Structure formats: structure tokens, C-alpha cells
Amino acid sequence: MGNARSALYRAHAAANTVPEGKLLTDLAPKQLFRATQIALAKSTLSRKRLPVKLDLEEYRSPEFHYDTSSAERWQKLLEDVPLNSDGVRWIHEDDAVLFYGIRHFEMDYDEFVSRVDISRVGDAFRDVLGINTQVVQRDSAGRPTLQIERIAALAQPNYTAFLGKDELDVYKLEHMTYEQDEVRNWMRTVCSPNASTSADDGYLGFRRAAGGGTDIVFVARQAFPRPRVMVALRLDRWEWFRTKLTEAAYMDFWNDTVDNIIARYEGQEIGIGRPNRGKGSAKRVAAAAGLVGAALYLRSRRRAAKRR
């Protein structure tokens, strides 16, 4: 299995491919610097647009059918769970989390879907470094109905970068449906070249609310390998601790994603980091190190001031 995983990574590697993590390197100075940069200086990170190296012919075939039955089954399970005060539902499995989130906004639905392209909703996910999208099918109006996306994103929650949590590198197959009162982007994991993702499936949709306005709905089943340092320290064996951290991370992800969607509706720029301008990065790295060092220094001064 290890050989197959390494072969997958090599087949999809590129100059700026997200690293394939290992326990031996999780505490190396380079990795710790990257983790500090993620935690304190995201604006210094470089964006990524990783190449799509999958064979897409299967998806281009008119006979290809995207199966939504799994996500529909998860939604039915989640609908039996009461909404909590944050407007979300949870089901914790041994190796995965089922999540349902809904947010309502007093914005005209038709205007909302005209401003926010459901096929580009992945751009709004929290801490995305870059997405490479290849549309393989469109409807008669020219709208994407099937596409492959290769997504690069930061570890969630960010502090787990110190614990051996890999940055995301995943291919998703996405199916867009357009109805009068609802649009959806159905998502299914195809593969993860750096083994950062086991499953990240479901849908994100916009629907016309019964009393007016627009609802944003997210249904997902997600499974990610646990951070290697956390496993080595056996912290993952504390189920209550694991659950608490997981739910806190999901709420950060969900809240920031919704904020990004609304920012897109309002015509604002979203995203983190800056364009990758190739090699010649010594000045960038030095600047990043200076920003990280300054942030650490200021944090230590604040803590010292509080102790006085």
C-alpha cells in the first residue's frame, strides 16, 4: 500500500506540489517554520495551481452518470439530528464526520445565484491556496455540469500543522445541478496525491428560502488522517478531546466559508496568500521569516505585559 501511495504522489507531483508528510520530518526546522508561517503570516504564503494529471476521458463520455445517492443518504441521516444553536448537525463515526450546516440570508435568491457561481464555490472554502478546474461537461446554456478540480489548501485547524497534519492536495469530481429554486455543487473525492484526504464528499447548495431570501446549505462526510505527532503522543485516543477539536475546526471552516461566499456576493476579493511568481524566492522567504519573527516577538511582549 505504501508503494502505491508513493507512486500516486510521484505521478501527480509538480514543482510546487504540496509535500508528502512523514513523521521523521514533521518536527524539522523547515516544517516548523512553515507551520509558524501558516499560524501567524498567511499573507506571505504562495498560492498554488497544481496540474491536473488525471485521464478525463471517462468523465467526458455522454454515458457517464454522477451518483448522488451517498450524499442523499447522509443528508437523510443528518436530518434526524436536531439543529444546534449554531445551525449545524453532527454525526461522529469512528473514522469520519457527517456535517450539516445551514445559514439564512435576507438576499434575493435570483440575484444571489447570478452573483455567486455555484461551480466556483470551492474558491470560497477556508484557506484554499489554489484550485485548478477542468470542465468536462456543460449544459445547453453553457454552464458547467461536470468538472474535475485539484485543490490545494492549508491544514485545518491551522495549529495542527505543528502536529503533523498535512496540507490538503485532493482531486474532486463535481456535478452541478441547476433548478428554479436551488442550485447545488455535488462533490466527490477522486484521489489525494499526498494522502491528506480519505474522503471529502457531499454538496454545497444555494436555495430559495420559503419565506424569502436565500439559504446556504452544506452537507458533507469527511475523513482525514489524524495528525502524525498527535497519534505518536496518543492524544487521538481521547475521544472527547478529539470530538471537541473536530467540532471547533468545523465551525471555523464553516463560518469562514460562508463569510467568503457573502464576500463574493458583494464583489469582494477572497483568498489567502499571493501569486506564486516562481523561483527567486529568497527575498520572499526572508521577508516571511521577518514577519513571523516580528509576530512572535510582539506576542511575547504582549504576554509579558499582561504578567506585569
C-alpha cell at 118: 455555484
Residue closest to 176 by CA, chosen among 121, 127, 123: 121
Q: Which residues on adjacent β-strands are paired with residue 94?
A: none
Whole-number pLDDT of residue 305: 53
pLDDT at 284: 45
DSSP letters for 222-246: EE-PPPHHHHHTTGGG-HHHHHHHH
Cβ neighbourhood burial of 191 (10 Å; 0-12, 13-18, 19+) = middle
Query: Which DSSP helix (H) or strand (E) runs through 177?
Result: strand 168-178
Rounded alpha-carbon distances, angstroms, from residue 72 to 138, 254, 306: 23, 20, 51
pTM: 0.86
pLDDT computed for residue 233 by the predictor: 87
- Is the sign of the CA dihedral 153, 115, 255, 172 positive or negative? negative
How high is the pLDDT of residue 245? 84
Each residue's pLDDT, cut to its tens digit, for the chain (308 residues) gives 678 889 999 999 988 899 888 888 998 999 999 999 999 999 899 999 999 999 999 999 999 999 999 999 999 999 999 999 889 999 999 889 999 999 999 999 999 999 999 999 999 999 999 999 999 999 999 999 999 999 999 999 999 999 999 999 999 999 999 999 999 999 999 999 999 999 999 999 999 999 999 999 999 999 999 889 988 988 878 887 778 888 999 999 999 999 999 999 999 999 888 776 544 444 444 444 445 454 544 555 555 555 55
Specify the pLDDT at position 289: 46
Contact 164, 228 (CB under 8 A): yes
The half-sphere exposure of 31 on its side-chain side, counting CA atoms within 13 A, is 22
